Amino acid sequence: AQSVTQLGSHVSVSEGALVLLRCNYSSSVPPYLFWYVQYPNQGLQLLLKYTTGATLVKGINGFEAEFKKSETSFHLTKPSAHMSDAAEYFCAVINTDKLIFGTGTRLQVFP
Amino acid sequence: DARVTQTPRHKVTEMGQEVTMRCQPILGHNTVFWYRQTMMQGLELLAYFRNRAPLDDSGMPKDRFSAEMPDATLATLKIQPSEPRDSAVYFCASGSGTSYLNEQFFGPGTRLTVL
C-alpha cells in the first residue's frame, strides 16, 4: 500500500530563508503525490501535485516540489520564506483511489 | 467565491448525545469526502460519495457513525451516541469529476468536543 512519511513535525526558518519540507513515499506503483497547506483554523488547500511528466512541479505561493524516484522523495521548497507561509503542510499520496496524508509539518517563520 | 461550507463550526456536547454535522459542497461538484483530524491520528478519511452514492465508508466506525447525502447540495455526518474519543475536527471536502487526481476543496471544519 502507498504511504508517505514526513520528516520533522516542526520546522523553523527566518523570514527570507530557504524553506525545505521533507516527504518520502512508499509505493509499489508510480505514485501520485500532493502537497496541501493548512492555515490556522482553516481547511486544507492544494499547493501542488505530481502525476506524470515533469518532475519539478510548481505550485501556488512560490512553492515547488521535485519528484525523485531514485530517492523516493517529494520534498517541498520555497527559496524565500514569508511570514504568511506559517502553517501546517501535509504531503499526501493516492492509495487505491484515496488520499493518504502524512502526519504534517508545522512551519514557523521568524522575523 | 465558491467554497465548501460546514455547520456548525464548533460543537460541544455531552457523551451519549447525537451530533449532526452538515456540509454544503461547491455547486456542481459531484464528489464529497468526510475527514477527521486529531493530534494522535492525523487526517483520516471517513467516507466519500460520488453523485450522492456512498463509495467507501470503511474508515468510519459503523456502529455509531453514519454519513448521507440527502441531495446534491447537502452532506451530513452523524454520530450517535457520541463519545469523548470522537472529539476532533471534522472536515468536508468536495471535488468534481471521477478521479482522485482532481483537487479536493476543503471546508473550514467542525470542531467537535465531547465531554
Q: Which pLDDT tens digit goes with each residue over A47-78?
A: 999 988 889 999 999 999 999 999 999 999 99
**Lowest mean per-residue pLDDT among A20-34, B47-61, B93-107:** B93-107
Residue B113 has pLDDT above 90, yes or no: yes
CB pairs under 8 A between A and B: 45
At A73 the pLDDT is 95
Tell me what pLDDT residue B97 has.
75
| Arithmetic mean of pLDDT over chain A | 93
Q: Which residue in B45, B103, B108 is closest to A98 by CB distance?
A: B45
pLDDT band at A37 (very low <50, low <70, confident <90, very high): very high
Render pLDDT for B46-77 as a digit per residue (tens, 0 to 9): 999 999 999 888 889 889 999 999 999 999 99
Taking CB atoms and an 8 Å limit, are B106 and A43 in contact across chains? yes
Task: Tell me which of A2 and A16 has the higher pLDDT.
Answer: A16
- What's the confidence (pLDDT) of residue A53? 86
CA angle B67, B20, B6 (to 5 degrees): 85
Q: How far apart are CA B84 and CA B67, in angstroms?
A: 19
Coil, helix or strand at residue B85: helix
Local confidence band at A35 (pLDDT 50, 70, 90 cut-offs): very high
In the block, cell 525523485 appears at A68
- Cβ separation of A98 and B91 shorter than 8 Å? no
| Chain A residues touching residue B48 (CB < 8 angstroms) | 98
Q: Which of A5, A90, A101, A105 to mutate to test the interface with B (most CBs of B within 10 A)?
A: A101
User: Which cell numbers in the block locate residue B64?
Assistant: 455509531
